[in-house]
């Protein structure tokens, strides 16, 4: 069943249930409150009529004329003799049979409460039963004879002109409400149909589909959220395609080198050539292994599958350890290394932070000039732990500073030979995992400075 049909059906069911509940409440109100009040009001009118006719000793003929006028005024009146003879004023009763309580008026009872006690129909509908039992009665003496006077309002006079206006008003409200509900539900379902179409387009990888919904209600908020999702999916799709292209290229290059040089080793070569080709194969294999390792780290962090094992970590000791492990590279390039490390501790994942320091210090060595300088500082200041890694290398252009943390981004061809374009991406992901920030300052041919800040309260 479509949403519009279900909405209309639900509306009709709710209206029907509401009418049913309204009828039940009305019947309860009628039985508990209205019925007795009506009975007492009719009885008061009947007793006043009887009293007036008796006190003024009006003749039967005059009384009949007076009661006839009352009958034309909207009442049903029966004047009954003890022998059962009835004179009806106003509309005739469909049932004229007297019950025992009515006959008791000739045996000493003063009043008859028929409206209150009548139960021939279901609850409130008993009010509309046109039966002489559904009246009130009192005793009356005219010209020396005993009579019983029975009275009730005429049902046909119940529906006056005003009642017809009220009924017309209720009917008009009901019809216009149904029409309004249909129009609103149609507009609502049109927006949902538009969202469905847009979802299907997204499922077919069409991220350029324009969603034509401009509303300021909850549907509009849903449409705005959908557009945000659409834009994020489009960006993710572009990033995914770019990622696949970059990974394919970065894997292909070392694999082709390994394949090519391994084929050369099958030929008759001198020992120096064999050693040279073997070194190239080992270098490319290491590069491939490093790329795979970094990809695995990034993927684990992205998917939230990396098992974080936070402990208290001495950053100064980690930096010392990284520098010692790279000492041969530092000496090979003739670099001067300056270290100023204060003992500082953070609550962090030891292996992730170690990977970040290896990337940052490794880049400082890799892209430095021969006989250049590298300085590493670590200190605490105003509830913050600050790490600075500065080199005197080739530096970066201003436009490159905004992109160096993007995955697979490389500044120039010189860096393409050894780098994977993932190191700084990993550094940023690792630091964000620890609620730390990283800033970079650089000038061409003057060097680069990375500043990492840990907020001790958050780490």
Q: What is the pLDDT of residues 184-217, one digit of tens each?
A: 777 777 777 888 888 888 888 888 888 877 777 7
| Residue 436, phi then psi, degrees to nearest 5 | -110, 155
pLDDT > 70: percent of the chain: 86
Domain 3-158 has CATH 3.30.450.20: yes
Tokens of 84: 């059962």
pLDDT value at 413 more than 50:
no
pLDDT confidence of residue 458: 53
More reliable by pLDDT, 136 or 18: 136
Arithmetic mean of pLDDT, 145-161? 78
Q: Which helix (H) or strand (E) holds 50?
A: helix 35-55
Q: How many alpha carbons lie under 13 Å from residue 301 in its C-beta half-sphere?
A: 18
CA distance linking residue 169 with residue 172, whole number of Å: 5
Q: How far is CA 251 from the centre of its chain?
A: 44
- Beta strand 436-443 with 310-314 is unpaired
What angle separates helix 161-203 from helix 3-29, to the nearest 10 degrees?
150
Helical H runs in 265-388? 271-302, 315-325, 327-332, 350-366
Confidence of residue 416 (pLDDT cuts 50, 70, 90): very low
Task: Name the residue among 431, 457, 434 with its Cα closest to residue 357.
Answer: 431
Note whether 133 and 114 are within 8 A (CB).
Answer: yes
Question: Going by DSSP bridges, is the β-strand pair 436-443/447-455 parallel, antiparallel, or unpaired?
Answer: antiparallel
Strands (E), 33-126: 75-81, 86-89, 111-113
Q: Which of 70-74, 96-100, 318-322 has the lowest mean pLDDT?
A: 70-74
CB 77 within 8 A of CB 67: yes
Residue with tokens 């009628």: 30
Q: Give 373-397 pLDDT, tens digit per residue.
A: 999 999 999 889 999 999 999 888 8
Where do the domains of the chain lie? 3-158, 164-252, 307-455
What is the number of alpha carbons within 13 Å of residue 117 lying toward its C-beta? Answer: 11
Burial of 319 (0-12, 13-18, 19+ CB in 10 A): buried
Rg (CA), the chain: 50
Q: What is the pLDDT of residue 312?
A: 92
Are residues 346 and 456 in contact, defined by beta-carbon separation less than 8 angstroms? yes
- pLDDT at position 410: 66
Two tokens at 443? 């000038």
Q: Are strands 373-381 and 336-341 parallel, antiparallel or unpaired?
A: parallel
**Per-residue confidence (pLDDT) for residue 285, from 0 to 100:** 80
Pairing of strands 373-381, 384-391: antiparallel
8 Å CB contact between 386 and 451: yes
Owner of token pair 């070569």: 269
Alpha helices in 303-379 (DSSP H): 315-325, 327-332, 350-366
What is the chain's mean pLDDT, rounded?
Answer: 82
Q: Which residues contact 394 (CB under 8 A, 6 or more apart)?
A: 367, 368, 369, 414, 444, 445
Q: 281 and 258 in contact (C-beta within 8 Å)?
A: yes
Q: Is 390 helix (H, G, I), strand (E, B) or coil?
A: strand
Instruction: Give the model confidence (pLDDT) of 118-151 as tens digits.
Output: 876 566 777 778 888 889 999 988 888 889 999 9
CATH match for 307-455 among 3.20.20.80, 3.90.1150.10, 3.30.565.10, 3.40.30.10: 3.30.565.10
Residues 6+ apart with CB under 8 A from 171: none
Tens digits of residue pLDDT in 425-459 = 888 888 888 889 999 999 998 899 999 999 876 54
Query: What's the whole-number mean pLDDT along residues 265-278?
Result: 75
């Amino acid at each position: 069943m479509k949403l519009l049909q279900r909405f209309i059906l639900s509306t009709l069911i709710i209206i029907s249930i509401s009418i049913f509940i309204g009828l039940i409440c009305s019947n309860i109100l009628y039985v508990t409150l209205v019925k007795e009040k009506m009975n007492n009001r009719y009885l008061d009118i009947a007793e006043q009529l009887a009293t007036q006719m008796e006190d003024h000793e009006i003749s039967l003929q005059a009384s009949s004329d007076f009661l006839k006028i009352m009958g034309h005024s909207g009442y049903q009146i029966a004047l009954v003799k003890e022998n059962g003879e009835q004179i009806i004023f106003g509309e005739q009763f469909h049932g004229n049979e007297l019950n025992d309580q009515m006959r008791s008026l000739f045996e000493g009872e003063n009043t008859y409460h028929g409206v209150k006690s009548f139960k021939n129909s279901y609850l409130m509908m008993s009010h509309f039963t046109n039966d002489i039992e559904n009246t009130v009665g009192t005793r009356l003496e005219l010209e020396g004879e005993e009579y019983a006077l029975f009275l009730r309002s005429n049902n046909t006079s119940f529906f006056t002109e005003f009642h017809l206006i009220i009924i017309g008003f209720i009917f008009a409200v009901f019809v216009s409400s149904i029409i309004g509900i249909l129009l609103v539900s149609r507009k609502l379902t049109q927006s949902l149909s538009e969202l469905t179409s847009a979802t299907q387009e997204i499922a077919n990888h069409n991220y350029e589909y324009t969603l034509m919904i401009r509303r300021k209600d909850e549907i509009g908020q849903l449409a705005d959220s959908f557009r945000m999702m659409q834009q994020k999916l489009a960006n993710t799709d572009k990033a995914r395609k770019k990622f696949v292209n970059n990974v394919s290229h970065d894997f292909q290059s070392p694999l082709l080198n390994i394949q090519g040089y391994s084929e050369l080793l099958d030929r008759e070569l001198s020992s120096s050539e064999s050693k040279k080709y073997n070194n190239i194969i080992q270098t490319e294999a290491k590069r491939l292994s490093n790329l795979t390792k970094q990809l695995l780290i990034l993927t684990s962090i992205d998917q939230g599958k990396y098992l974080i094992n936070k402990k208290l970590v001495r950053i100064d000791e980690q930096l010392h350890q990284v520098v010692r492990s790279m000492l041969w590279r530092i000496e090979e390039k003739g670099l001067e290394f300056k270290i100023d490390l204060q003992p500082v501790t953070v609550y962090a994942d030891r292996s992730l932070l170690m990977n970040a320091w290896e990337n940052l210090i490794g880049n400082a060595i890799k892209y430095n000039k021969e006989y250049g300088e590298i300085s590493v500082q670590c200190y605490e200041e105003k509830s913050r732990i600050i790490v600075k890694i500065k080199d005197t290398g080739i530096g970066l252009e201003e436009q490159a500073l905004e992109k160096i943390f993007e995955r697979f981004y490389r500044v120039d061809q010189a860096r393409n030979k050894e780098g994977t374009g993932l190191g700084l991406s990993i550094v940023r992901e690792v630091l964000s995992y620890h609620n730390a920030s990283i800033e970079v300052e650089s000038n061409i041919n003057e060097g680069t400075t990375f500043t990492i800040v840990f907020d001790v309260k958050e780490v």
